[in-house]
Chains A and B, each alone.
Chain A
Amino acid sequence: MTAIRIEGLQKTYGGVRAVDGLNLTVEEGAVFGFLGPNGAGKTTTIRMLTRLAHPSGGKAWVAGAELGQGTSVAHRIGYLPEEPAFYGWMSPLEFLDHVGRLFGLAPAERKARCAELLDLAGLSQVRKRRIAGFSRGMRQRLGLAQALVNRPEVLLLDEPVSALDPAGRKEVLEMIEGLRGKCTVFMSTHILADVERVCDTVGIINHGKLIVEARQEELLARYTLPAFELECDPGCEGRLRAWADGLSGRYPWLTKASVEGCVVRLLVKDVNEARRDLLPEVARADLALRRYEMVTPSLEDVFLRLVKDGEAVKS
């Protein structure tokens, strides 16, 4: 079953195409990481899926209901904006109760659901305090709680942790991880570590277009190349750069060499050949080697490769 289907979705602001013919499918039950650099079109896409913005073209279905066809999908989705805003004069209990009333929950069910969600968000102790005095982390947890009041089929989260400190991020990510299997989560972010941690499927968007969409392990297998990292003593940065530049073109197994300070990172096609040639090369160049290792490729490598280098298109 498909929870979200997007076909040729477009959004234009003046002459700028924020979303440019986006195609995307999210399967039911997935925790989908919608990844992209700032300004890629992530928030605009989510705003269209929640009907807060109107598409300039294309179609989209959320929880089976097509956008703009008059079918209300509000009962079946949950939404957390990047910086959720609340009525500061309310307490979290009052806010969740208000949301429960909007969803038409009966009093007893509303009371139980509020208590359950306050507990989940770790806000039970402050349930009667005014939201105005809440920290950003508390607001974000309350934001997630309010998005879950109606037990949504599809949960749309816009950068749910990007504004939080490490402790706050950990708390909110744990809440999201806890939703696996309970609903479909569509989470936009530009923080790769968060995607690696909680998402099983990833879609990478840039300039309003989807670059790639796949399960995380499939993506890593498809797009990551083995890499070697070599670190030399401080002071030999210039020689290291010249050495790395000299490697390019001489060895067919080398895909890319990048130098940052005293560290050179080499993306290779053939691990065995690279292993055979690299150390003799270092010895010939008389570089004072401090560290030499083969590194595990990360989603960050894939992301940078796909977004920054523009090497791949959706296959």
Chain B
Amino acid sequence: MNLYTALRKELMEQWRTSRLLVVAAVLLVFGLTSPLLAKYTPELLKLIPGADQFAGLVPKPTILDAVAQYVKNIGQFGVLLAILVSMGSLAVEKERGTAALMLVKPLPRGSFLAAKFLALAISFGVALALAALAGYYYTLVLFGPLDWGAWLALNGLMGLEMLVYVALTMLFSTLLRSQAAAAGLGLGCILVLSLVGSLPTLGDAMPDKLVSWGASLFTGQALPAWGAVWVSGGIILAALLAAWLAFRRQEL
């Protein structure tokens, strides 16, 4: 019951502080512009003085270029947004004192944490769904229809990668009182996971392989990365569990 009450408050907060709007707007813009950029890159090159001579060298854009552009933009900015939106989730409430005021009431700390993660997951889910719809529509108009199933899978995998960073940044936000430090550690995780992702064998199970798998679904040569799915799910659960273990004994 109190998880529902806490989630209700978190979702209201996402809406009223325009966080949901910002996330949705940013992802929507990239969802809309990615196919456009893919389609009109040769034309844009022709407009740049000096670069027009190379315009002829750029191959005619295809539907795969639209998907690649979408994957690149949503993948990068989605992860950055995940860190920026999650960095203050716990740190700010602890610093301001709202956590102390609320947790004296019958609200278990686990519910407090879980509500924050669920609200962020819902926000990113909604924003990604809008971006996916917009991206699908523009790709359809400019290039032709995409495989719906593959498109859904790609967006689901990208969403899972974003949740990895939401959970990790929430953990840092729980451990620290500074949201800037939480964001710094979140950004550090991008670097660390990318470095590990470049290693042979072990790298195939890192979260950044989720997006590679999603993108490969359109090439006819799918590169399944089930290991990355399990590891990402494991990272999310481990980060949330660690956050709860730390938070339940934390003095406020």
> Which residues of A are interface residues toward B (Cβ below 8 A)?
47, 50-54, 72, 74-75, 77, 79, 81, 83-87, 89-90, 94, 98-99, 101-104, 143, 146, 150
Contact = CB atoms under 8 A, between A and B. Distances in A.
Interface in B62-76: none
B251 A53 contact: yes
A89 B251 contact: no
Contacts of B101: 79, 81, 84-86, 143, 146
Nearest to B4: A101
Given A54-B249, A101-B5, A85 B96 contact: yes
Interface in B232-251: 249, 251
12 contacts: A54-B251, A74-B106, A74-B107, A75-B106, A81-B97, A84-B97, A85-B97, A85-B101, A87-B98, A90-B16, A94-B12, A99-B105
Query: Lowest 6 CB-CB distances: which A-B pairs, in order?
Result: A85-B97, A74-B106, A101-B5, A89-B16, A85-B96, A79-B104
B252 A89 contact: no
A101 B5 CA distance: 7
Interface residues of B, number: 24
B112 to A, nearest CB: 10
A84 B101 CA distance: 7
Nearest to B97: A85
Nearest to B6: A102
Interface string B175-207: 000000000000000000000000000000000
A90 B16 CA distance: 9
Interface in B1-44: 1-2, 5-6, 8-9, 12-13, 16-17
Contacts of A52: 100, 103-104, 251-252
A103 B6 CA distance: 12
A102 B2 contact: yes
Interface of B: 1-2, 5-6, 8-9, 12-13, 16-17, 96-98, 100-107, 249, 251-252
Given A54-B249, A85-B97, A98 B104 contact: no
Nearest to A149: B105
A211 to B, nearest CB: 26
Contacts of A79: 101, 104
Contacts of B98: 85-87
Contacts of B9: 87, 98
A244 B98 CA distance: 54
B97 A47 contact: no
A94 B15 CA distance: 14
B97 A103 contact: no
A213 B17 CA distance: 48
A195 to B, nearest CB: 24
Name, among A50, A77, A85, A86, the residue most crowded by chain B CB atoms within 10 Å (CB to CB). Answer: A85
Contacts of B97: 81, 83-85
A103 B100 contact: no
B20 to A, nearest CB: 13
Nearest to A89: B16
Contacts of A51: 104
Contact of B106 (A47, A98, A102): A102
A16 to B, nearest CB: 15
A80 to B, nearest CB: 9
A172 to B, nearest CB: 17
A88 B46 CA distance: 51
A50 B107 CA distance: 13
A245 to B, nearest CB: 50
A102 B100 contact: no
B105 A74 contact: yes
B104 A74 contact: yes
Contact of A98 (B5, B17, B249, B252): B5
B104 A50 contact: yes
B102 A77 contact: no
A90 B249 CA distance: 28
B11 to A, nearest CB: 12
A89 B13 contact: yes
Nearest to A77: B104
Contacts of A89: 13, 16-17
A54 B252 CA distance: 10
Contacts of B106: 72, 74-75, 102-104
Contacts of A150: 105
B99 to A, nearest CB: 9
A54 B1 CA distance: 27
A87 B105 contact: no
Contacts of B12: 90, 94
Nearest to A76: B106
B243 to A, nearest CB: 18
A52 B6 CA distance: 19
A19 to B, nearest CB: 13
B13 A87 contact: yes
A206 B245 CA distance: 35
B14 to A, nearest CB: 10
Nearest to A130: B16
Contact of A102 (B5, B17, B96, B251): B5
A77 B105 CA distance: 8
Nearest to B111: A102
